[in-house]
Amino acid sequence: MEKNKKIFHMAVVLFVGLVGLLTARTVLAAPELPQENFGSLLTLEQAISRTLQEDAKVKLAIERLEKEKALYKGAQAEFFPKFGTEYFGAVATGGSKTVGYVDASLEQPIFEGWKSVFNKKKQKTRVESETLRFEEAKLDLNLYVRILYAQVLEEKELTRIAQGEVKELSGAFERTSALFQKEVVPRSELMRVETLLQKSKTGLVKHKESYDYYLGLLMETVVMGAQESLELEPMGKIPELSEDASTYLEISRKHDPLYKITGLQIQEKEFEKKMLRAERWPTLNLAAKWDLNRDIYVNTDRVMAGVSGKWNIWDFGRLGAQIHAKEHEIEEKKWEGVIEVRDHENEIRRDFHEIRATREKIRLAETLMREREELYKNEKVKSVAGERGASELMDSFVALEEARTQNLESITECRILFAKLGRKIAFGGIETGLQGTAGEETE
């Protein structure tokens, strides 16, 4: 009886192997779809370049920059004279039934405590700050697209793994069902395989929906046309990492806009303080005025030229209090800059060490995957020999797929960390592409 059961198991395995071979030949013989049917393919770098031109966040940063440029031009215009005119006409009581007059004036500032000079420098500083914030917006968007791209790649590969898992477990379930109908295996073994199959189907749906979500989000961000598609690169290689985090700190200090923005913000507050101090000085203007037909008892048709001035001599400490408040605001901005730079550099150190830890996690996942592959091969041999049931073989197969999934998730985590590190150094001096040019190969 035991010998007949072994012979039956061997026959079932040979039959399934023959069916799988025929299916594989059919798939391999299927014609390939020409590339032109996919439309125009965009690489990651092309997608990022397009996003940096079309995204709303970039356009918002551009409008803010243009606003500051316009205000800077207004600050420059303060050095030129102002020309104005006023007209009044009305019906009146008294001897003259109508009243009308025209005033024309020309005013040229000659001294105001250098307030206009400081205002111009302040506005120029704001233009420089917004220029750097524009660069920051592009760097943040670059990082956003790279992370989305990594998530799309991950879900694509997880979907592929889940599809293979469902296919394998579906075949195992059919075989186990046939054996159960012949009372060769118990119901518990059939239910075990059925549970594994349903679990794999749930995972397939989850990863497929996540893939559709991230891909749709990425295509919407990139603004792709109907005849365009995104070229999804293979996982490839992990970029190289420097031996010391100080390398990335030095690159960041040279390239990241954060450091310059902090200094420019302090300069802006310094100019605001100088503008307040300028109000202690008198203001003098050259003025010319022409009055015509004023309704008074003297001749007012005249042209006048002279100097006008204004001086705030004493205000009971109001201006002094504003100056002291601005001094504290400057110190506040300095300490805010220190904190921002410290947090920024701590994040660089954290990303650097997390990348090193994740690279070791990848090596562990690869080792585990090789171990699970060997165990699965052994379980297949034992299953063919009749020493193991279908549920034990499928448990080994699922363990192998879980190891592959863990390896894939570790690779994606490492790629995202590289992208974040690249953002913090303004993508300067590091291979931050999701497919590095040199480094460790991943299985």
State the Cα–Cα distance between residues 207 and 244, nearest whole angstrom: 37
Per-residue pLDDT tens digits for 354-371: 999 999 999 999 999 999
Per-residue pLDDT tens digits for 47-59: 888 888 888 999 9
For residues 139 and 261, the answer to whether their CB atoms sit within 8 Å is no
Phi, psi of 85, rounded to the nearest 5 degrees? -145, 155
Q: How confident is the model at residue 295 (pLDDT cuts 50, 70, 90)?
A: low
Instruction: Count other Cβ atoms within 10 Å, centred on residue 200.
Output: 24
Region 304-321 average pLDDT: 85
Better pLDDT: 406 or 229: 406
Domain coordinates in residue numbering, the chain: 33-441
The CB-side HSE value for 220 (13 A sphere, CA atoms) comes to 6
State the Cα–Cα distance between residues 60 and 68, nearest whole angstrom: 13
State the Cα–Cα distance between residues 417 and 434, nearest whole angstrom: 10
Rounded to 5°, angle at Cα 72 from 67 and 78: 130
Q: Which of 171, 139, 166, 115 is nearest to 48 (CA)?
A: 139
pTM: 0.77
Q: How confident is the model at residue 296 (pLDDT cuts 50, 70, 90)?
A: low
Per-residue pLDDT tens digits for 196-240: 899 999 999 999 999 999 988 988 888 776 677 777 776 656 778
CA 110 and chain centroid, separation: 49
Q: Please give the sequence-ordered ranges of beta strands (E in DSSP) within 380-422, or none if there are none.
A: none
Say yes or no to pLDDT of 440 above 70: no
State the Cα–Cα distance between residues 139 and 419, nearest whole angstrom: 11
Better pLDDT: 390 or 199: 199
State the Cα–Cα distance between residues 352 and 358, nearest whole angstrom: 10
Least confident of 139-148, 213-222, 381-390, 409-418: 381-390
Give residues with Cβ within 8 angstroms of 213, minimum separation 6.
none
State the Cα–Cα distance between residues 375 and 396, nearest whole angstrom: 7
Q: Which of 348, 370, 358, 353 is nearest to 409 (CA)?
A: 358
Q: Which CATH number fits domain 33-441: 3.40.50.720, 1.10.8.50, 1.10.10.10, 1.20.1600.10?
A: 1.20.1600.10
State the Cα–Cα distance between residues 78 and 85, nearest whole angstrom: 18
State the Cα–Cα distance between residues 32 and 340, nearest whole angstrom: 54
For residues 157 and 71, the answer to whether their CB atoms sit within 8 Å is no
pLDDT of residue 29: 38
For residues 275 and 295, the answer to whether their CB atoms sit within 8 Å is no
